[in-house]
């Protein structure tokens, strides 16, 4: 547990004791989607990337970023910041801490996007472990909240150094380390190498959080078993299935399995997400920005491709809602007429 942190070591262990966490997802973990996650029982969310420069130098941006952090009772929230200048990262963390909206400050060491790595931030920090450790030390010194780090396995297959960097971050005061075991070069290709999570767990004393390729409650249980991780994150599989983190938690912690959502639940989630996002950003922008997310909810359902094309060319909340309602009716005719026959 880091010097300067407000939580005792025991409390940090508890905070990360077999938790199923919504992974940080820039552009995905909007206010509306976080509300969907919370309403479906998720109790731990990492925000998407918040720029440390933006927080420190632009008050408009700061307001928007802070506003985007979810709030709810019994919810743990980690605010993830990125940057490579220790002082600015420390100041950004302080700004977040002062709002009282975060329980954890997380430092991004995994973002592969050129715009971020060219500023030496994101996964680029892993190529400079001393700088990475300085950033952690500065942030830990600046705030009382626990400070975590989320990293990849390394830059490329010849420079896998997550264990070394994680050790240095823990020595600098990081309270826990999350690992998405793919390199920067891999981006999202290939498979997450869970053996690296097990290696990391054996190498550091702080809690280890697994991230990568947890697709359903069963793979969450397998990830805990195979890696020995303390907690894990679910990212892409939650897109269009905001109940997934809570279902995985129930299986892992209580041994209670739950079926995936049927088409009715998926479509009602789609409509609710749309309504929440439109309420946040206005109808025109909201409907446009929801084209991607609506596609998550209907993916794999019979006839989804044609509906997606229609949604992508439709403006107006009412029209999109009508498309979704008509789609739901077609699916009901297709899937539920059989079962009704069975009961007659």
Query: 19 vs 150, which CB is nearer to ligand FMN?
Result: 150
b/e code 151-169 from CB counts within 10 Å (16+ = b):
bbbbbeeeebbbbebbbbb
**CB contact set of 339 (below 8 Å; sequence gap of 6+):** none
Q: Which residue spans within 202-280 are E strands per DSSP? A: 208-211, 231-234
- Shortest gap between Cβ of 108 and ligand FMN (angstroms)? 5
- Shortest gap between Cβ of 238 and ligand FMN (angstroms)? 8
Residues across the chain: 344
Cα–Cα distance, 48 to 76 (Å, whole number): 14
**CB contact set of 181 (below 8 Å; sequence gap of 6+):** 152, 153, 162, 192, 193, 194, 195, 196, 197, 212
Number of residues that bind ligand FMN (CB under 6 A): 22
Which residue bears the tokens 């390729």? 213
Q: 42, 111, 162, 169: which is the annotated catalytic residue?
A: 111
- Shortest gap between Cβ of 189 and ligand FMN (angstroms)? 12
Q: Does 245 bind ligand FMN (CB under 6 A)?
A: no
Q: Does 140 bind ligand FMN (CB under 6 A)?
A: no
Sign of the C-alpha dihedral computed for residues 167, 172, 173 and 174 taken in this order = negative
CA distance readout (Å), 92 to 54, 58, 83: 9, 11, 10
Using CB under 6 A as the criterion, what x/- string covers residues 57-86 for binding ligand FMN?
Answer: -----------------------x------
Query: 230 vs 328, which CB is nearer to ligand FMN?
Result: 230
- Shortest gap between Cβ of 87 and ligand FMN (angstroms)? 22
- Shortest gap between Cβ of 22 and ligand FMN (angstroms)? 9
Q: Of residues 93-132, which lie at the interface with ligand FMN (CB under 6 A)?
A: 108, 110-111
Sign of the C-alpha dihedral computed for residues 51, 194, 225 and 1 taken in this order = negative
Q: Does 25 bind ligand FMN (CB under 6 A)?
A: yes
Whether 42 sits among the annotated catalytic residues: the reply is no
Structure tokens at 223: 């990830």
Helix, strand or coil for residue 179? strand
Q: Does 26 bind ligand FMN (CB under 6 A)?
A: yes
Selected from 12, 49, 132, 196, the binder of ligand FMN by CB under 6 A is 49
Q: Of residues 183-242, which lie at the interface with ligand FMN (CB under 6 A)?
A: 211-214, 234-237
Query: 27 vs 316, which CB is nearer to ligand FMN?
Result: 27
Residues identified as active-site:
111
Positions touching ligand FMN (CB under 6 A) are 23-28, 48-49, 80, 108, 110-111, 150, 180, 211-214, 234-237
């Amino acid at each position: 547990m880091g010097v300067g942190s407000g939580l005792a070591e025991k409390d940090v262990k508890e905070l990360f004791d077999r938790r199923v966490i919504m992974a940080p997802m820039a552009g995905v973990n909007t206010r509306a989607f976080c509300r969907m996650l919370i309403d479906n029982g998720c109790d731990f969310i990492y925000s998407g990337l918040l720029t440390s420069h933006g927080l420190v130098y632009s008050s408009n941006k700061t307001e928007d970023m802070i506003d985007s952090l979810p709030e709810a009772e019994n919810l743990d929230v980690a605010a993830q910041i990125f940057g490579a200048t220790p002082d600015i990262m420390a100041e950004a963390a302080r700004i977040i801490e002062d709002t009282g909206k975060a329980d954890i400050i997380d430092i991004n060491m995994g973002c592969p996007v050129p715009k971020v790595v060219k500023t030496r931030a994101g996964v680029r920090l892993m190529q400079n472990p001393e700088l990475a450790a300085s950033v952690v030390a500065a942030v830990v010194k600046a705030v009382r909240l626990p400070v975590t780090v989320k990293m990849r396995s390394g830059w490329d297959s010849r420079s896998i150094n997550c264990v070394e960097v994680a050790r240095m971050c823990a020595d600098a005061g990081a309270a826990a380390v999350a690992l998405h075991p793919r390199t920067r070069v891999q981006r999202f290709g290939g498979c997450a190498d869970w053996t690296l999570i097990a290696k990391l767990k054996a190498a550091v004393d702080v809690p280890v959080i697994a991230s990568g390729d947890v697709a359903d409650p069963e793979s969450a249980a397998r990830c805990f078993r195979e890696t020995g991780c303390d907690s894990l994150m679910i990212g892409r599989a939650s897109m269009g299935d905001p109940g997934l983190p809570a279902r995985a938690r129930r299986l892992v912690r209580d041994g209670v399995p739950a079926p995936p959502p049927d088409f009715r639940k998926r479509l009602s989630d789609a409509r609710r997400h749309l309504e929440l996002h439109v309420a946040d950003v206005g109808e025109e922008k909201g409907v446009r920005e929801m084209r991607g997310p609506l596609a998550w909810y209907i993916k794999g359902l019979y006839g989804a491709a044609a509906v997606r094309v229609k949604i992508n060319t439709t403006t107006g909340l009412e029209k999109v809602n009508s498309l979704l309602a008509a789609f739901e009716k077609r699916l009901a005719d297709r899937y539920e007429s059989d079962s009704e026959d069975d009961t007659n």
